[in-house]
A = this chain, B = another copy of it.
């Protein structure tokens, strides 16, 4: 009942490090997969989305890093299917139960012969899934591997991910795979997954740009009967930890910014406002400058379609109440010290109108962000 993995090389990374990962599940598993909402999708996403919609159950994953298999014309689709078939052939499974993922440069055709050779060697030597190693193989510009594990009684939830939240060389991607030994039917899995995704991977931002390749899978290994609420909590915990690691790894970042919008009338509004503040370049540069510039916070909070009451709302930077319908100039100095001394910065916007809240994670915008993104040349 073990998950196995195999590692191969297709020469897609400049470093020459392994760039092919094959994951073999112990049997056909109920799964839920969420793919990027970008309409300019990687061929690997188009292929896997189609296969998964038809079948739903999955037996194996094949992932290449270093090349996004995106923007390369119709060949991309043929290559994705070849990757699935090659994996299935060597593992002796149905190729319709193999999903394909790619991450890396946009617009360069996959050297498919090398990729198929890499898959062949990956399938030859299978070993138990090592979360850290798996994350390393699928990483591109990541500075550290991303994985997490939670065990509560008999319940196990674990996962690995990649993503540095920004784009290098062309378009980095968030890939995340979370597994649980809980037995969940496809419908329950899907509902749980969508809900958790909204509060985790859909509530982080480094540069507000949606990748062509983002994918997030939730896989039920299916033998433990467990209370759904427990499963939900554990899956959310692992997913949030993975998502926060992506923000931490945002290249150029010196601060993690946690935006909490609370006491909103509806959660949709709380999320919209949290997202707007978290993705504001002005807020992100202010935090980099250790500037408790609440003017930029309230101005971005005001620029969603949802009305806010500027005479009622409160804004805290850390525990410092900098605005409550009017400015509190005396709090600014303390807020500035807080920004200088802490690596994770909490900004709370209390709308004081209802009971809903939302938390969004972001990172600051630095010279290094511009350097990394401007200096790379195709």
Contacts and interface: CB of A to CB of B under 8 A. Distances in A.
Interface of A: 37-41, 70-75, 105-108, 166-167, 170-171, 207-212, 280-282, 285-286, 288-296, 298-304, 306-308, 310-311, 323, 325-327, 332, 336, 365-367, 369-371, 373-378
A172 B302 CA distance: 15
A301 to B, nearest CB: 6
Given A209-B300, A327-B71, A40 B310 contact: yes
A88 to B, nearest CB: 27
A303 B376 contact: no
7 contacts: A40-B298, A71-B298, A106-B299, A170-B296, A210-B303, A288-B370, A291-B378
A256 to B, nearest CB: 17
Contacts of A73: 311, 325-327
Given A71-B298, A210-B299, A367-B371, A327 B107 contact: yes
Contacts of A210: 299, 302-303
Given A39-B303, A166-B282, A210-B303, 11 more contacts: A37-B303, A38-B299, A73-B311, A74-B311, A75-B326, A107-B323, A209-B300, A212-B302, A288-B370, A336-B377, A369-B370
Given A285-B374, A295-B107, A327-B107, A308 B71 contact: no
Contact of A39 (B212, B289, B302): B302
A207 B281 contact: yes
B327 A281 contact: no
A27 to B, nearest CB: 36
A212 to B, nearest CB: 5
Copies in the complex: 2
Nearest to A302: B40
Quick one: which of A210, A211, A285, A377 has the most chain B CB within 10 A?
A285
Contact of A332 (B75, B299, B378): B378
Nearest to A43: B310
A109 to B, nearest CB: 8
A303 to B, nearest CB: 4
A281 B281 CA distance: 9
B39 A295 contact: no
Contacts of A371: 367
Nearest to A210: B303
A326 B374 contact: no
Contacts of A370: 285, 288, 365-367, 369-370
B289 A377 contact: yes
Nearest to A324: B73
A314 to B, nearest CB: 12
Nearest to A315: B71
